[in-house]
């Protein structure tokens, strides 16, 4: 009974995370006019760090940080780099390749979670999980291609391989975060603090520091505080309570929700293929949730 309640709580955290992450394209669309991806990531990381810092103070967990060993800090900063690398390479991909192609590659990271969980966490891998992932990826592909797979020519394979590297980095971040035995709030806070340091390097090297406009600040605050801030607490806590490889199929709901939010806020065209894709995503989750016979 206790394990059942923990699993349900973990799934609730994951669901909240999925809803927040599905808002990324909508919020980013409002903010990309005045800032490049280096600058946007830099300011978002600052807001994310401050948001989690406040949560840590409220929970009275901040003092625990001073008990961490150098080894723990090294691990947390390494995980922070993996998370930072994912967004850096993802934004690079959207700036240099076809968006549909990048989105297909981006959502390979739930698949990488399953295989990395098998290797690193020694979780069970079954044909049911493989089928579930295949159905989920099919559903996502139908939505983002609008049913026309010929639109994906993958001519810029070098850029897409970079995006795939980012997807692997985030999958590795998610799997390794499951085995970090420190307070989740403090861990996420350190991830974002490290992202600020890494962003300072990339902005200094490849961009310039500018002050965002008031419109940009609205998107930065929403993205930093909730979409890439509080959502990470839900994600880490969810992974600590729920089988990491079981989480992967449900993550395919994120781009489906993203499509619906874009339709809602930007009056984009509604196609029947979206509902076909949603069917495969739901079927993916149902297949994964079915109990195996003894």
For residue range 215-268, list pLDDT tens digits in order: 788 888 888 888 888 887 787 777 777 666 667 667 777 777 877 777 777 666
Name the pTM for this structure.
0.76
- The range of the structural domain enclosing residue 56 comes to 2-289
Residue 99's pLDDT is: 62
For residue range 266-293, list pLDDT tens digits in order: 666 667 776 777 677 767 766 766 655 4
Sign of CA dihedral 214, 223, 44, 226: positive
For residue range 10-64, list pLDDT tens digits in order: 778 888 888 888 887 777 666 656 778 888 889 999 999 998 888 888 877 788 8
Number of domains the chain contains: 1
Structure tokens at 111: 């698949």
Q: Is residue 127 part of a domain?
A: yes
For residue range 172-185, list pLDDT tens digits in order: 888 888 777 888 78
Contact 224, 44 (CB under 8 A): yes
3-state secondary structure 233-288: HHHHHHHHHCCHHHHHHHCCHHHHHHHHHHHHHHCCCCCHHHHHHHHHHHHHHHHH
Q: Is residue 34 part of a domain?
A: yes
Q: Is residue 294 part of a domain?
A: no
Q: Is residue 135 part of a domain?
A: yes
Percent of the chain with pLDDT over 70: 81
Q: How far from chain centre, in Å, is Cα 277?
A: 20
The dihedrals phi and psi of 34, each to the nearest 5 degrees, come to: -100, -10
């Amino acid at each position: 009974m206790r394990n059942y309640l923990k699993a349900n709580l973990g799934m609730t955290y994951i669901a909240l995370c999925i809803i927040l992450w599905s808002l990324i394209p909508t919020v980013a669309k409002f903010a990309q006019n005045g800032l490049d991806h280096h600058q946007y990531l830099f300011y978002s990381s600052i807001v994310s760090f401050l948001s989690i810092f406040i949560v840590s103070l409220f929970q009275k967990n901040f003092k625990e940080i001073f008990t961490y060993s150098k080894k723990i800090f090294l691990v947390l900063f390494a995980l922070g780099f993996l998370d930072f690398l994912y967004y850096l390479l993802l934004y690079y991909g959207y700036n240099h390749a076809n968006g549909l192609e990048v989105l297909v590659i981006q959502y390979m990271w739930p698949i990488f979670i399953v295989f990395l969980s098998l290797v690193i966490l020694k979780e069970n891998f079954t044909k049911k999980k493989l089928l579930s992932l295949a159905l989920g990826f099919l559903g996502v592909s139908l939505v983002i291609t609008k049913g026309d797979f010929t639109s994906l020519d993958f001519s810029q394979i070098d850029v897409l391989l970079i995006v795939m590297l980012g997807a692997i980095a985030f999958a590795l971040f998610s799997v390794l975060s499951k085995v970090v035995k420190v307070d989740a709030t403090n861990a996420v806070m350190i991830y974002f603090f490290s992202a600020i340091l890494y962003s300072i390097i990339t902005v200094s090297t490849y961009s310039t520091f500018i002050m965002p406009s008031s419109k940009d600040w609205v998107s930065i605050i929403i993205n930093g505080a909730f979409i890439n801030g509080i959502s990470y607490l839900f994600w880490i806590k969810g992974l600590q309570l729920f089988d990491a490889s079981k989480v992967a199929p449900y993550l395919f709901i994120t781009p489906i929700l993203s499509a619906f939010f874009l339709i809602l806020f930007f009056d984009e065209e509604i196609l029947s293929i979206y509902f076909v894709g949603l069917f495969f995503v739901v079927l993916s989750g149902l297949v994964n949730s079915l109990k195996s016979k003894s």
